[in-house]
Amino acid sequence: MPDEVKPLLGQELNWHPQLCIEADSESRTVAVATRHHRKSFYFDQVLGPDAEQEAVFSSSVVDLVDGFIQGLNATVLAYGQTGSGKTYTMGTAETLQQDRGMLPRVMERVFDALAQLKAAQEAEGQAGSAKYEVSCQFLEVYNDEVRDLLQPDTPRQQLSIREHGDGQIRVSGAAEIIVGSLEEMQEVFHLGSQARTVGMTLMNERSSRSHAIFTILLRRTSRAEGGGLQLVTSKFHLVDLAGSERTKKLGARGLRFKESVNINQGLLALGNVISALGDPARNLSHVPYRDSKITRLLQDSLGGNSQTCMIACISMDHSCLEETLNTLKYADRARNIKNTPVIVQKVTQPSEVMLLQAQLLRLLKQHAQQGQHDPEGAAEARMAGLDLLAQLAPDAVWDLLRMVYGRPLAAARPEHVSVAR
């Protein structure tokens, strides 16, 4: 907060917009002055109203992409009141080239980096020594229910949030689409965006009525010493949260009112999780992740193994002062969370691959046999099989699928190859 800003005086007390909120990117502070007091908040980056998307990307997101390529998990979350620019910042499928948001930029950077790695391997005469597989998922949480935007007709009972032994959260039953190029991933994003729930409110013509999570998954396989396969997996969540809103101001009735209540409850639950994680005095075993679907989905991003960046979007409009203050407080609490991400790698020895394959085959057979008369048992066997599948490196998975189906799965690519885990 620059010292030269004078307090509000005389007519200025009528909350002239420019005097209410000041963003200073040099000192990285945002100051809010109300009739009674002023408060400054310090952040890692502060970008003013004139900042371009490129500045947001290069200051806050690009390092996360580079870490992701090396094997670290990453999450970028956009938070703020309705109409403050979250969807604009994260990016939509329609945005013009220079205005494109974080999502299209992350995708581009990922494929550029992979092309460079491939070229470097070739230059060193080690073409194919490490293989990369990229896939993506696109989910939304609408009225506290998970929806798969890539298979919008999937009944919600078939989508369940599960915590795996490694602490990773996955949604079983959700489509995971393997993509071979930037264009394919853009197509998937476009497809999912069309299914996203949006509606018109007084504050925003195309208001997101759900929390949307686009996830990029990367699996790198290389040969380990002793002939085994080394697998490094990482995921990148790009989260466009629904906007915090005051139902009265929004003119919400009927369905919009119900949506609004659910949105606010989800954000409240997220705020409670953020408070619990950021408070060193709290017992971390009691973080209330289970209070809403959005907190459950983001459990490993917020308090787990992830480099996480929250982009708090605010409006300079004085009529939004209360919401702006709330957003700043929310983001301020989020700054207290300290994550220490590490690369997760797994080496599967050849003998282990064979063992896992045998176990998996048994479960697949059980699934097929139980299918008719015991759907629940079949579903359990299927889930157990898919858990095992997740432990295998892609090469081993292809081998296995060849064994089971008698043909390489690659023949079916790049069309929708869905692996529900």
Ligand X SMILES: Nc1ncnc2c1ncn2[C@@H]1O[C@H](COP(=O)(O)OP(=O)(O)OP(=O)(O)O)[C@@H](O)[C@H]1O
CA torsion sign for 35, 38, 39, 42 is: positive
Nearer to ligand X among residue 175 and residue 242 (C-beta): 242
| Closest separation in Å from C-beta 94 to ligand X | 10
Question: How far, in Å, are 93, 99, 108, 188, 239 from residue 183 at the CA level?
Answer: 12, 18, 9, 9, 21
CA dist., res. 253 & res. 248, Å (int): 9
Assess 84 for contact with ligand X (CB under 6 A): yes
3-state secondary structure of 237: strand
State which of residues 86, 211, 293, 367 lies at the interface with ligand X (CB under 6 A): 86
**Residues 6 or more apart whose Cβ sits within 8 Å of residue 263:** 209, 211, 242, 243, 244, 245
Assess 305 for contact with ligand X (CB under 6 A): no
Question: How far, in Å, are 79, 93, 184, 299, 386 from residue 190 at the CA level?
Answer: 22, 5, 10, 26, 28
Is 80 annotated for ligand binding? yes
Assess 104 for contact with ligand X (CB under 6 A): no
Among 6-14, 67-75, 165-173, 206-214, the segment contacting ligand X (CB under 6 A): 206-214
x/- binding map, residues 39-78, to ligand X, per CB under 6 A?
A: ----------------------------------------
| Alpha helix stretches (DSSP H) within 149-203 | 182-195
Which of 109, 104, 88 is CA-nearest to residue 186? Answer: 104
Is 75 annotated for ligand binding? no
Rounded to 10 degrees, the C-alpha dihedral 302/305/307/309 comes to -10
Among 16-24, 80-88, 211-219, 281-289, the segment contacting ligand X (CB under 6 A): 80-88
Nearer to ligand X among residue 201 and residue 348 (C-beta): 201
Nearer to ligand X among residue 86 and residue 367 (C-beta): 86
Nearer to ligand X among residue 80 and residue 303 (C-beta): 80
Provide the 10 A C-beta neighbour count for residue 347.
14
Is 34 annotated for ligand binding? no
Assess 82 for contact with ligand X (CB under 6 A): yes
**Residues 6 or more apart whose Cβ sits within 8 Å of residue 67:** 74, 307, 341
Assess 210 for contact with ligand X (CB under 6 A): no
CA dist., res. 72 & res. 96, Å (int): 30
State which of residues 80, 91, 266, 341 lies at the interface with ligand X (CB under 6 A): 80
x/- binding map, residues 234-273, to ligand X, per CB under 6 A?
A: --------xx------------------------------
| Closest separation in Å from C-beta 99 to ligand X | 7
State which of residues 31, 57, 64, 83 lies at the interface with ligand X (CB under 6 A): 83
Provide the 10 A C-beta neighbour count for residue 7.
10
| Closest separation in Å from C-beta 297 to ligand X | 18
Give the total of residues touching ligand X (CB under 6 A): 15
Assess 208 for contact with ligand X (CB under 6 A): yes
| Alpha helix stretches (DSSP H) within 94-163 | 102-123
Is 29 annotated for ligand binding? no
Among 85-93, 222-230, 278-286, 324-332, the segment contacting ligand X (CB under 6 A): 85-93
Among 14-22, 184-192, 205-213, 221-229, the segment contacting ligand X (CB under 6 A): 205-213
* Residue 39 bridge partners (DSSP): 32
Assess 197 for contact with ligand X (CB under 6 A): no
Give the Cα-Cα-Cα angle 317, 238, 48 (nearest 5 degrees): 30
Which of 329, 339, 340 is CA-nearest to residue 271? Answer: 329
Residues within the interface to ligand X (CB under 6 A): 80, 82-88, 204, 206-208, 242-243, 313
Instruction: Show binding-site residues.
Output: 80-87
Instruction: Show binding-site residues for ATP.
Output: 80-87
